[in-house]
Amino acid sequence: MTKKIRFALLAIALMNIGLFVALYAALAADAQWGYDGDQGPAYWGALSPEFSLCDDGSAQSPIDIDEASAVNLVELEFNYRQTVNNIVNNGHTIQVDIAAGSHIVYNGIRYDLLQFHFHSPSEHTIGGEAAPMEIHFVHRDPNSGALAVVGVMLTESEADNEAYAPVFEAMPAAAGEAQALPAPLALDALLPQTRAYYTYNGSLTTPPCSEIARWLLLDSPVELSAGQIAAFKSIYDGNARPVQPLGKRDLLRKRR
């Protein structure tokens, strides 16, 4: 049985977005991808049949945030706990895996927080300008498997951000390394105090570029010190996919 046939049969049997994404990742594991050269974003769609949406999709992420329509959107409700978590260098970024219990509520749907990770420079841009870094908080609806990703721009200031200190002091330098964070994270303190947001329907920003994500980009940044930013860039500098066309999608902004 060929790989494509196995994929089709298993996808039909699962009929669940969350498991479908996991299956995609498993079957595409042999396809190496990155951010440079012939494994970079311009080539992702050709690296594996499972990555075809990276070239052919119509709702890809990230995008440039520009000319958003201001409307009366619902409040974005955060229910983040202080938890003990694990940090891993997954070969493409530094990722923190979150213990169960933290979640957001958007449009009456609960999305559980699974992990957060970093990109440098920011993947989304605002008016064509990138921030030094961007953090993505990845959430999943446990019923449908659909994703909601909260993005926050990270900008530079003079002082260390103490809420982020346990992360930046424990980042594994080598791909594949994982360890427990030395101290619990107060997850809510990782966010800006003002939480108005932009939103649009999009995709994963890494292969397989599945178009299953509701993006919620907070319009206020969080500040990190130059030293904290440099600590991440010493491991990953340039792990950002270029912006993709908005096309016919709606880009909305919550009125303050």
pLDDT tens-digit map of 206-251: 999 999 999 999 999 999 999 999 999 999 999 999 999 999 999 9
Q: Which of 92, 103, 119, 139 is catalytic?
A: 92
pLDDT tens-digit map of 116-144: 999 999 999 999 999 999 999 999 999 99
What does the mean pLDDT of the chain come to? 90
CA distance 152 to 191: 8
Taking alpha carbons only, the member of 210, 215, 213 closest to residue 22 is: 210
Pair of tokens at residue 207: 């292969």
How confident is the model at residue 20, as a pLDDT?
39
**What is the DSSP track for 113-168?**
EEEEEEESS-SSEETTB--SEEEEEEEE-TTT--EEEEEEEEEEESS--GGGHHHH
Q: 57-254 architecture in CATH?
A: Roll (3.10)
How confident is the model at residue 1, as a pLDDT?
46
HEC states along 171-206?
A: CCCCCCCEEECCCCEEHHHHCCCCCCEEEEEECCCC
Is residue 16's pLDDT more than 50?
A: no
Which of helix, strand or coil describes residue 50? helix
Over residues 163-184, mean pLDDT: 93
How confident is the model at residue 84, as a pLDDT?
82
92 is catalytic: yes
pLDDT tens-digit map of 74-106: 999 999 999 889 999 999 999 999 999 999 999
Q: pTM of the entire structure?
A: 0.89
Q: What backbone phi and psi angles, to 5 degrees, belong to 14? A: -75, -50
Provide Rg for the chain, Cα atoms.
18
The DSSP secondary-structure symbol of 170 reads S
